[in-house]
C-alpha cells in the first residue's frame, strides 16, 4: 500500500493537507514528525476550523488531533472493532517506534445515517443547461444520463436511501420530457412538479413552493451530488440556528501563468510564478428554514446572491458546512460531467 497520500509533515499547511485528503479519498491524513506518526487530521477537523473562521494557510498541526486513535502491530486485529466503536473509517498501524507500517480502512459507500425527522427536498431543475450543449439541445439537463440513470434520478435515489420521501422539483425548460420520464418509472416516494412559467433565476422558483412547505427543507441543484452525511449536514444546520446553511467545497486553483503585482506607482513590485489560490465554492446544496420564503415575491425573478444580500441586510444568520473538493460531484460543464461519470464508476 502506498502511504504517500495519507502522510503529511506537521509543519505543512492545511491547504496541503486538503490536497492529500482529496487525493486519498478517505477523509483523513496522518501527521509525521521525525518519521513518527504524531496526529491525525480529518476533513471534519478542517470543517470545524473553517466554521470558526480559521485560515487554511496555517500549519496543519494547529488544527490536528493529537489524541488520535491508532494501534500497534500486535493489536491490529482490533482495528475493525475500534473503527466501529469510534465511527472512524481509517486507523494507522504503528510499530514500537511509532513509524507507520499499515493503514486499515473501511470502504463504506452507504455510510449515511437515516434522517430522523421528515424533511422534504426541493430540486431546482428549470435551467437551460447551456454549458452542456450540445447534449442539452436534445435532453434537458436533469435527464442527462450517468450510466443508465438520469442525474435527477441519481439525486433522488441518494435521498431515498436515507429515508427521505417528499420531493418538489421546480421545472421549466423541456419540463414535459422530465415529467414524462418520471411518470413512466416506478417510484416509492412522493414527487411533485412545480412549474415555472418563465425563468425566475436561481432563487425565484422558491416563491412557488411557499404554500406547500412550512418546515426546514433541503435545497439542491439538479446537477450535483454530495458525498457527505446528509444527516450530519442537517444536524449542523439545526444546532447552528442558521436560516440557511450552504454546503461549500474547498477549491484549490493554480494559475498557469506568472502573475504580476504592481505598486501604487504602477511599477512592477513582484512576479509570482504560477500561484495557488484556495477558496470556498458554493456547491448548490443548502438546508433552508421556511422563513426565507417570506423574503421572496411570488413569481418574481431573483438570484441567490441577491437573496443572501437581503439576509445580510436583515442580519439573518447564514452559515456554511465545508466539505472537500473530492466530495462534490458537479456535472454543470462537459468536462465536469466526464469527471462525475468516472468518479461514479461509469467510465
pLDDT attached to residue 110: 42
Question: What is the pLDDT at residue 158?
Answer: 92
Cβ atoms of 175 and 198 closer than 8 Å: no
Q: In which residue are the cell numbers 456547491 written?
A: 283
Spans of all domains in the chain: 4-105, 121-343
For 135, counting Cβ atoms within 10 Å of its Cβ (0-12 exposed, 13-18 middle, 19+ buried), the class is middle
How much is the pLDDT for 282?
93
CATH code of 121-343, in short, is: 3.90.550.10
Residue 109 pLDDT: 46
What is the reported pLDDT for 1? Answer: 61
Classify 4-105 by CATH class: alpha beta
Q: What is the pLDDT of residue 113?
A: 64
Q: What φ, ψ does residue 204 adopt, rounded to 5°?
A: -65, -30
Across the 347 residues of the chain, what is the mean pLDDT of every consecutive 10-residue run? 84 91 86 92 92 90 94 86 83 90 70 74 90 86 90 94 94 94 92 92 88 91 91 93 94 86 88 86 94 89 89 90 90 82 78
Q: What is the pLDDT of residue 133?
A: 84
- Radius of gyration, alpha carbons of the chain: 22
What pLDDT, on a 0 to 100 scale, did the predictor assign at position 347?
A: 65
CA angle 20, 26, 31 (to 5 degrees): 50
Note the pLDDT of residue 244. 95
Q: Answer for the pair 199, 175: CB distance below 8 angstroms, yes or no.
A: no
Q: What is the pLDDT of residue 17?
A: 92
The b-or-e profile of 76-115 (16+ CB within 10 A means b, else e) is: eeebeeebeeeebebbbbbeeebebeebbbeeeeeebeeb
pLDDT score, position 125: 92
- 208-219 in b/e form (b: 16+ CB < 10 A) is bbeeebeebbbb
Q: What is the pLDDT of residue 61?
A: 94
Same fold for the pair 4-105 and 121-343:
no
Amino acid at each position: 500500500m502506498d502511504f504517500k497520500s495519507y502522510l503529511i509533515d506537521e509543519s505543512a499547511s492545511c491547504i496541503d493537507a486538503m490536497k492529500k485528503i482529496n487525493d486519498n479519498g478517505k477523509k483523513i491524513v496522518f501527521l509525521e514528525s521525525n518519521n513518527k506518526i504524531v496526529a491525525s487530521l480529518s476533513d471534519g477537523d478542517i470543517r470545524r476550523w473553517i466554521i470558526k473562521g480559521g485560515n487554511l494557510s496555517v500549519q496543519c498541526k494547529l488544527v490536528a488531533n493529537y489524541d488520535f486513535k491508532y494501534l500497534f502491530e500486535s493489536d491490529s486485529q482490533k482495528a475493525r472493532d475500534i473503527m466501529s466503536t469510534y465511527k472512524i473509517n481509517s486507523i494507522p498501524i504503528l510499530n514500537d517506534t511509532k513509524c507507520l507500517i499499515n493503514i486499515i480502512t473501511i470502504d463504506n459507500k452507504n455510510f449515511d445515517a437515516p434522517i430522523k425527522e421528515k424533511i422534504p427536498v426541493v430540486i431546482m431543475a428549470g435551467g437551460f443547461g447551456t454549458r452542456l450543449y450540445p447534449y442539452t439541445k436534445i435532453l434537458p439537463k436533469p435527464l442527462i444520463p450517468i450510466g443508465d440513470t438520469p442525474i435527477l434520478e441519481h439525486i433522488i435515489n441518494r435521498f431515498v436511501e436515507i429515508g427521505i420521501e417528499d420531493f418538489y422539483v421546480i421545472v421549466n425548460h423541456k419540463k414535459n420530457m422530465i415529467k414524462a420520464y418520471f411518470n413512466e418509472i416506478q417510484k416509492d416516494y412522493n414527487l411533485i412538479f412545480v412549474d415555472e412559467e418563465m425563468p425566475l433565476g436561481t432563487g425565484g422558483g422558491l416563491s412557488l413552493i411557499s404554500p406547500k412547505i412550512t418546515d426546514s427543507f433541503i435545497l439542491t441543484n439538479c446537477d450535483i451530488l454530495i458525498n457527505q452525511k446528509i444527516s450530519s449536514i442537517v444536524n449542523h444546520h439545526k444546532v447552528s440556528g442558521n436560516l440557511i446553511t450552504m454546503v461549500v467545497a474547498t477549491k484549490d486553483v493554480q494559475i498557469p501563468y506568472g502573475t504580476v503585482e504592481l505598486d501604487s506607482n504602477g511599477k512592477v513590485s513582484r512576479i509570482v510564478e504560477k500561484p495557488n489560490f484556495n477558496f470556498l465554492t458554493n456547491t448548490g446544496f443548502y438546508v433552508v428554514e421556511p422563513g426565507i420564503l417570506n423574503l421572496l415575491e411570488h413569481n418574481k425573478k431573483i438570484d441567490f446572491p441577491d437573496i443572501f444580500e437581503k439576509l445580510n441586510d436583515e442580519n439573518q444568520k447564514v452559515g456554511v458546512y465545508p466539505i472537500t473538493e473530492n466530495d462534490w460531484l458537479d456535472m454543470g460543464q462537459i468536462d465536469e460531467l466526464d469527471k462525475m461519470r468516472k468518479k461514479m464508476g461509469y467510465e
